[in-house]
Amino acid sequence: MGEVRIQKSEIRNQNRAEGDCGVQIAVHVRGRKAESRGQKAGPGLAFCFALLFTALPAQADEYANPALVTGADALGVNPAQLADPARPRYVYQLLALDAGLGNNSLRGAQYNRYTGAYLDESAKHDILGSIPLTGLRLDGDARVDATALTFSTFGFAVSGRAGMSGNVPKDLVDLVLRGNELDRTYSAATLGGEAIAYTDAVLSFGIPITPALRTGFGLKYLRGLFVAQSTDVDGYLLTTPYVVNSEVLTGYRWASGGNGFGLDWGVSWDFGMTSDERRMTDGRSSGIGRHIRVAFAVTNLNLGIDWDRNPGAAVFRLNMDSVNLWQVMKQRNVVSTEFTQTSPGSFKTFLPVMFNLGAMWEPVRSLSVGLSVLEGFRSTALSSAVPAATLGAEYRGLSWLPLSAAMTVGGREGLVLGCGVGVLTRGYSIRARIANTGGLGLSARGLSAGISMGYQAPSGSGETESMRLYFDSFDGSREE
């Protein structure tokens, strides 16, 4: 570990600009009145609102049901579905895009109401009332599938993903809106965030065990592009009738390249058919889908991305010890800062391991209904520690115009309501989806959208006899 630079600075009231800063401190020392005057929401607040409600938080396959996916959609979700008897013979996905940004507190109606308006005490109370005690959290996610190809029971895909998550303590939002209250300690302990971008190349294959049971694996190469994380964050601000005290500590690290490996695994099981029905169809007919399918997948099993390219770390400290107006006017040392940057060597970050359990039911050939539960176990820029349950359906009354709808409860969004539509003609397809996060319409806290396009051969003709493994059937007889 080698130290690169240490820089210290002392802030003094020596010129007009610093004199203005001193006057501002003197004004804050007086504290705020019981009712503050109206404050106009300036361009900065408008810009923040615009980011929160006009961008698109991505969740392309984040909540995908492992029992419903087939073809290129199975890559990265459940590789066992590459061996689905009703799969397309081959699929080429040209491009898939999802991107966005959302938050956990402020809604579209508040954006319309307060942008460019005067913020009186009632408005400030409304904004602060929307922010939980844990703070205002901003989440962003972007995904690009550059190419995906499946043939028979094999699949290959190259994709890139980026995610960010940042948290602003509620105390700091209160401080910005209302100013500092006398004898109140404002804490910055929950301030922090992370951002990560990486690409992965996955080679997956499905293994049919019986006409109704299959498993699959996916091997991943992970190429880290960029990472930045806060490590140690703490701080406070206290204003009394006589002095101002504050201390801030912020540590973070970063890197611009790394490598790693990962593994996906999945299994799916169709049941409800007799042994004779399985023997008659030999798994080739999509008719088995009219029964029930249960699937389970574990994705992103990994030993971490080893960030060994241009790693760095830094610590910033700020201290204000018993500052008062007299010290400022006398040009005393009132604020000290220290910035230390080091080269820590390589470090690892671990992608979140995702557990996905799902079930699918086809009451008729044109309708599929699915229920799935996703668990990520920890909160990161790419996952949530809160389980998410998704109920979805796809209707294929017109084979060239599939329609879908889904509702997710839980996860970091809390509530997602969405719909999708596809157009299929001569094997070519284009699909689009849109969803509100956190609510509907102006009560939403974000918007999710995605689009994909590609080509697929007809389903049901992709069987590879040499890959099939016949085991004892579920009624005790042996399939031949």
Phi, psi (rounded to 5 degrees) for 174? -60, -40
pLDDT value of residue 344: 84
Tell me the pLDDT of the chain averaged across its residues: 79
225: pLDDT strictly greater than 90? yes
How many other CB atoms are found less than 10 A from the CB of residue 422?
18
CA angle, 227 then 413 then 258, to 5° = 15
61 vs 428, more confident: 428
**Over pLDDT 90: what percentage of the chain?**
49
DSSP string, 350-412: -PPPEEEEEEEEEEETTEEEEEEEEE-SS-BTTB-SS-EEEEEEEE-SSTTS-EEEEEEEETT
Give me 121's structure tokens: 């005490």
- pLDDT value at position 273? 53
Enclosing H/E stretch for 52: helix 43-54
Question: How far is residue 98's CA from residue 478's CA, in Å, rounded to a whole number?
Answer: 46
Q: Is 468 a residue whose pLDDT tops 50? A: no
Please state the domain extents for the chain: 31-311+346-458
Task: Compare 443 and 308 and report the one with higher pLDDT.
Answer: 308
How do residues 185-207 score in pLDDT, each as one tens digit?
999 999 999 999 999 999 999 99
pLDDT at 61: 57
Neighbouring C-beta atoms of residue 50, cutoff 10 Å? 13
Is residue 382 within 8 A of residue 141, CB to CB? The reply is yes
Q: In the predicted model, is pLDDT for residue 293 greater than 60?
A: yes
Question: pLDDT tens digits for 33-44?
Answer: 333 334 444 433
Q: What is the pLDDT of residues 28-83, one digit of tens each?
A: 333 333 333 344 444 333 333 333 333 332 334 567 899 999 889 999 999 999 99
Who wins on pLDDT, 142 or 330?
Answer: 142
Express each pLDDT in 350-387 by its tens digit. 999 999 999 999 888 889 999 999 999 998 999 999 99
In this predicted structure, what is the pLDDT of residue 325? Answer: 74
SS3 334: coil
pLDDT band at 441 (very low <50, low <70, confident <90, very high): confident
The architecture of the domain spanning 31-311+346-458 is Beta Barrel (2.40)
Query: Cβ neighbours of residue 70 under 8 Å, at least 6 residues apart?
Result: 81, 84, 86, 87, 88, 459
* Model pLDDT, residue 413: 85
Tokens of 104: 């956990």
Does 24 score more than 50 pLDDT? no
Q: What is the mean pLDDT of residues 296-303?
A: 96
pTM of the model: 0.78
Beta strands in 426-445 (DSSP E): 428-437
Across the range 309-336, mean pLDDT stands at 83
Closest C-alpha among 376, 446, 443, 381 to residue 411: 376
Specify the higher pLDDT residue, 282 or 165.
165
Residue 211 has pLDDT above 90, yes or no: no
Q: CA 409, 270, 431: angle at the middle one, nearest 5?
A: 55
